[in-house]
Amino acid sequence: MITAFLITMSALGASGDAARLFEEAGTAYSQGNYEEAAGKYSELNLMHNIHSPALLYNLGNAYYMQGRLGKAVLHYAAALTIDPGFEPARKNLEQALGETKRSLPVPDIRQVSANPLIRYYPLSPLQSLLAAHVGLFAALLLLLARQWRDMPKYAWAMRLCLAGACIFYGLALAGDRASRSAPKLAVAQTEEVPVYFSMNESEAPRFLLYEGDRVLAERVEDGWVCVYAHGGERGWAKKDALGLVEHMIW
């Protein structure tokens, strides 16, 4: 496992208390006190509201070293929802999943969400925003070329690029709003998580999730989560047996 501490507190703009906690967490980790390190990293994440992929990655490492695969998978996945290109987290996630009971694949969110933007539009909000910036840059280059060569035909291409940039920007905003109400990623945190037909623990479970299994949380009600598992299975599980990733996952 990669265990380097990637956070720089100056980059995070953290307070003195947060910097002290970070140093204490790093010291505890290096001394093999993984439970203490996880507690301090959790405090940074929750109490100081520092949602950094590097912090989540370090927290996942601390849980992994304790053998708590469900929490390790949860925090590696959370780091990747913030920064999909964070390769150390991706590598460690694959390693942790390889040690779970069955490494259940993540269901396709497009099969669950009724929102047509999520269901059919192929780009994420971040990709749409990038496309908008490309369109603006292309329009700027065409404007400069038109002034340099005095060629009116560049005006139409410039207008098309600007129109495309506006469209992609609007899609980025709409996609971001849609993702806030979209199903969230959830990870089983205990050895076995029974999933029921309804919110009733007295009935026989429909199926079981195992520690580290990833599902989609369609909605949360009264301490229960309606989950959608790979293969199309649905049911209700207790919320305290799952960890939810609050960031968008598409």
Q: What is the pLDDT of residues 82-132, one digit of tens each?
A: 888 899 999 999 999 999 998 888 888 777 776 777 777 788 777 888 999
pLDDT digits (tens, 9 = 90+) for 201-246: 999 999 999 999 999 998 899 899 999 998 889 999 999 999 998 7
Handedness of CA 230, 212, 217, 201 (dihedral sign): positive
Given a contact cutoff of 8 angstroms between Cβ atoms, the answer to whether 57 and 88 are in contact is yes
Beta strand ranges found along the chain (DSSP E): 184-188, 192-195, 207-210, 214-221, 224-228, 234-238, 242-245
Tell me the average pLDDT of the chain. 84
pLDDT level of residue 3 (50, 70, 90 thresholds): very low
Phi, psi angles (nearest 5°) of residue 184: -100, 155
What is the per-residue burial (b if ≥16 Cβ within 10 Å, else e) of 47-86? ebebbbbbbbbbbbbbbbbeebbbbbbbbbbbbbbbeeeb
Q: What does the pLDDT read at residue 2?
A: 43
- The CA distance from 74 to 213, in Å, is 10
The β-bridge partners of 228 are 216, 234
pLDDT digits (tens, 9 = 90+) for 65-89: 999 999 999 999 999 988 888 999 9
- Kindly report the pTM of this predicted structure: 0.74
